Amino acid sequence: MQIRDLPFPDPGVPDARSGPRFLWWLFRNQLGGQLKSLAWGLLHFASVSALPFCVGLAIQAVVDGSGAGLAVAGGLMALCCAGNAVGDTFLHRAAVTNWVTAAARVQQLLTRKTALLGSALTRRVAAGEVVAVSTGDVEKIGWFVEAVSRFTAAALTIVLVCAALIVYEPALGVVVVLGLPVLALAVLPLLPRATRRADVQREKAGRATELASDTVAGLRVLRGIGGEELFLDRYREASQEVRHAAVRSARMWSLISAIQVLLPGLLLIAVIWHGVHLAREGRIGVGELVTVYSSVMILTYPLRHFEEIAMAYSFSRPSAKRAARVLALERATDTAGSRAAEAPAGDLYDPDTGLLASAGRYTAVVCGDPDAAGRLAERLGGHPAEEGTSALLGGVPLDELPLESARTAVLVQDKDPVLLSGTLRELLDVPASGAVDAGDALAAAQCGDVLAALVQGSLGADDPMDARITERARSLSGGQRQRLALARSLITDPEALVLDEPTSAVDSHTEARIAEGVRSLRAGRTTVVFTSSPLLLDRADRIVFLHDGKVAAVGVHRELLHTEPRYRAVVTRETDEETAAHREASQAEDGQTKALDDRRSVNGDRTADRGRTAPDGDVLGDDDVLHRLEEIEETA
């Protein structure tokens, strides 16, 4: 896979059981690129490490006065330099390719998981953590995956050089062979502590990122309540914690770097001291001493890759752990689905609460608990919680449908919809049935002033559809964003549309027009609106009131206001005192009615005893009897 071939047609199914397993899965999926990087790395490191042998041959040829030997040494040096240049160039190319493709694969996996889980993702993983994984963590993961092949090439080169030194000059080669493992393994006792400090740093950085993203998202609200300084102080405190953790981590890595500078120097001193004694005794030549000395000097270069791989693993392990935790999340239902892909039609029913939204009708749902309402809306969209059951559309459980079919059949707009940056035309370019055009949807959602604001704020855009929308539409008010999101949902024209508080930030006059527009545009289609707004409730065909997670009453708005005190308390925002007063008044009214009925019953019995005849003997009709009863009551 080359960078120009990205994105991957299929990034694969990751092994997300743990961070190390995920890293190993990434490495295996890049085996071709890793082998290519290993081959170029071997050429590069072998060429660099062979230079000391060439220098030693040249010096020995000068000492021996051999012109042919000097020419051979020069040719070998030229060959090593060419190999070094070619190997280093293509090693860098292969390494960067491995790094970028690994990061791209992780980003594609995260994007696919985000699309699969939808809004359920941020309820199970903090938004800041998702941001941290998709930005900084993918770089750390790509770094380690890329560094593995270079480290392998460096380790193999060291083994080859040690073997060559043993053959070339056994007396000094033994010293080098015994010293190099000490150099490579000396930092191992420090790595666990360095890893722990790196983990703490990444954890604190993730919390700071989450706090920053939450602050930016709520900046408008913070300015409204004067809470900017409070949140800025909290972010400053979090950033200082990150700084302290980074300094502690850097101290440990600087100690590891110092050890990897000190120990090769000590080995070099030992080699020179022992080599000088051997040269004085005539056991080795000057060229051989220079060769061994130069080899030890050169070997410090591949040895640095031991530190790099340790650092890359220490930083990538927590990143891979976080990425694996996100990728391990699954939809609470079967993504592939066990039924045919055709989207069903019919009533929308939730077994957990008993909610029934009749097909082709406008149903409003009133629930005093906003969180419970949000969970119910997600279930109606085919995303039940882990412990919940799926909703049914036309008697078919939505979790038995393929995810694409379920989303085509039922669309859920949550109470905080996201508007992506781009033009309005791009925003409204969503999968749709084609039965509703953009103009009708915008009109039903009362977006006239929104279009005017977009044109005014977008330079050079005469057509509102070409006007630019800023990131998350921050230049618009909350009500304007809600109306644009509603228009986008109406364009899709799903079989069942579920709207969670679609007009909570809209004024009452606009809300009334939206209620009429949505009812008209969705005529004959199933629409479920979670709301407590009387303007929306008054226009619903049917209202379902939920209490304690179950259907408590069903009817129309005006009827439920008089017959269901709990419904009235939610819709009219009554206080407990007002509810108690209504209850007492209702009880008093019921008592008066009962007393009147009792008196009428008694008087009726008296009239029956006297017979239904007037004094003159005429038979009394029903109206006459009622008139006589009223006279008796007045007399009493």
pLDDT of residue 618: 42
**Any idea which of 148-157, 419-428, 478-487, 495-504 has the lowest mean pLDDT?**
419-428
Mean pLDDT, to the nearest integer, of 305-333? Answer: 82
Q: pLDDT, tens digit, for every residue of 527-542? A: 999 999 999 999 999 9
State both tokens at 205. Answer: 């950085």
- Round to whole Å and give the CA distance between 411 and 460: 34
Mean pLDDT of the 36-56 span: 89
Looking at residue 608, its pLDDT comes to: 44
What is the pLDDT averaged over residues 340-349?
A: 75
d(CA 572, CA 561): 9
Q: Which of 404, 385, 387 minimizes the C-alpha distance to 120?
A: 385
Residue 332 has pLDDT above 80, yes or no: no
Q: What is the pLDDT of residue 491?
A: 94
Mean pLDDT for 201-214 is: 75
pLDDT one-digit tens code per residue, 223-271: 656 666 777 788 888 888 889 988 998 898 888 888 878 888 888 888 8
Check: CB of residue 238 under 8 Å from CB of residue 165.
Answer: no
- Most distant CA pair in the chain, distance: 162
Percent of the chain scored above 90 by pLDDT? Answer: 27
Q: Which long-range contacts link 135-138 to residues 24+ away (Cβ below 8 Å)?
A: 136/205, 136/319, 137/106, 137/319, 137/320, 137/322, 137/323, 138/103, 138/106, 138/107, 138/110, 138/319, 138/323
Helix (H), strand (E), coil (C) string for 197-252 = HHHHHHHHHHHHHHHHHHHHHCHHHHHHHCCHHHHHHHHHHHHHHHHHHHHHHHHH
pLDDT over threshold 80, residue 118: no
Question: Rounded to an integer, what distance in angstroms lies between the CA atom of residue 267 and that of residue 253?
Answer: 21
Asked whether residue 22 carries a pLDDT value surpassing 90, the answer given is yes
CB–CB of 33/40 below 8 Å?
no
pLDDT at 636 over 60: no
